[in-house]
Chain A
Amino acid sequence: MNAVPLTHIILLSTALFFTGMYGLLTRRNMITMLMSVELILNSVNINFVAFNKYLYPKQLEGVFFTVFIIAIAAAEAAVAIAIIINLYRTHQSIDVEDASELKY
């Protein structure tokens, strides 16, 4: 049952987190960036679930939190995509480099 230790799962989530970070920082496509953010959120989800399962098995807080995060991530993605679509209308591009008029 306990074949997979908590640290491994934490490592996984950390890896996922940094994958997300990496994607967020390097991808120029806005949709990909949005996906990278989702990765970060998912690493958090893994954390919650793992902590809940391994450390505080009698509680449900972690699990519930995860449920809410997933729900909200969906809402967030919806709004973000709407914004990106709108941005595409004005910019004719979803390259993040093109959306850098506001500066200094």
Chain B
Amino acid sequence: MNLSLLVILPLITTLLVLLARGGGQVKAIALTGATLQLLLALFLLYAFGKERSAGDHSAMLFQANYSWFAPLHIYFHTGVDGISVAMILLTAFVVLAGVLVSWDTSFQTKEFFFLLVFLSAGAYGFFISLDLFTLFFFLEVAVIPKFLLIGIWGSGKKEYSAMKLALMLMAGSALVFTGLAGIYFKAGGSAHSFDMMQLAGGLIPVKVQLFFFPFVFIGFGIFTALFPFHTWVPDGHSSAPTAASMFLAGISMKLGGYGCLRVATFLMPDAAQHYAPWIIALSTIAIIYGAFATMMQTDLKYINAYSSVSHCGFVLLGIGMLTRTSVTGAVMQMVSHGLMTALFFAAIGMLYSRTHTRMVAQLGGLLKIMPFISTIFILAGLCSLGLPGLSGFAAEMTVFAGAWQQPSTAYRFATILACASIVVTAVYILRATGQSVLGPVTDSHYEQLPDAKWNEKLAGILLMAGILAIGLAPFWLQQLVSPGAEQIIQQAVKSVTIK
């Protein structure tokens, strides 16, 4: 199948949104577009599986290569492996859910859905890119919509948050850019190239890797809340409108993780080995520190935002551990966290739109009043604390199991600390649920509030379906991701044996 469709479809949707008249039409178009995206993503999964089972074991499938800026060797080179397919699926789920929960948007509807769908185009483009330039392009494309979504439709100190998010992500991009420049000019003599598949074969000299790896890794790390560059996360997530929060935490942060994996680790395996202790140290700090910081939050969105810091730490930990299993786990965690956190934000958004507060202390007893919303809230929480049968468990356990394969005592210690964070997670999740949806009803006004509407229910069910599909049967995801992880790790392992 032609992967560019994944980008073209949302773009056509945005165009139609622009041409639409009235909020109803806009929503209908956005919904149709998002549904088609999901179908397309599912078809991609199917086609990918079919191709693989037909015996095509090449690293990337459905490759297409169009020349873009020929003098600079820039191509629009697309292709997917299992990891990309998983991320694309995640995107499709979150986009559709995001469109659904935003159904009640009445303020500047057209612009809202335009930006929302536009964001998804960026994410798809990022995940299908095999060319560093296009990858970078799509990474940055998302900046404008994110900024505007937060600033226009956000709440709280939205201006500050929007600025902060945009600037910090821009700083991340700047670092990535520097790294890309280094890779381009220093890899393999005069044959300048942006093509990841060409650059991958250990083409980049070790010295160059050692110099540029931190740029690329930290640059992408900022996107995925690498400690101590995570401070945009709490502010950004908490100020964003629901759908944008879902997008930010569910997809946007994953761009970083994917970049750390696909660009930093895949292209610079020696450096990845060399810097692994640093990555592990930082990610362990993020996990534990994020979890403890979450414990002290009183705003539901802050709770989820900080917990995202902690959970994304698992992604980086998995990457830093550099074993096939841990990398597989990292990708699974990305997908799982994406769905879970989107569901969480959706639930929080639904609560907020009714009660007009996100403070844990002001909520209470909502399970009785809004059973559906409270149930998905609790389920998201349970997924977050790693309940078997929901996606978080499978992902985290894969990370742990993979991390444990590293025999070094220090790494083991990091792993144990990471494991310990699941206890802290339980503490803050149960505190949050216990005080907000359980317990006595704190405000008699709440009694009259309605439960979820059809669109909200559909969004919740959709994301739950994703979570359950992974949680109940993680093997398909694992089998999907694992060969890709293998390929990335092979480079790292090979580089060790060469040394």
In the complex, A touching B, CB below 8 Å?
Answer: no
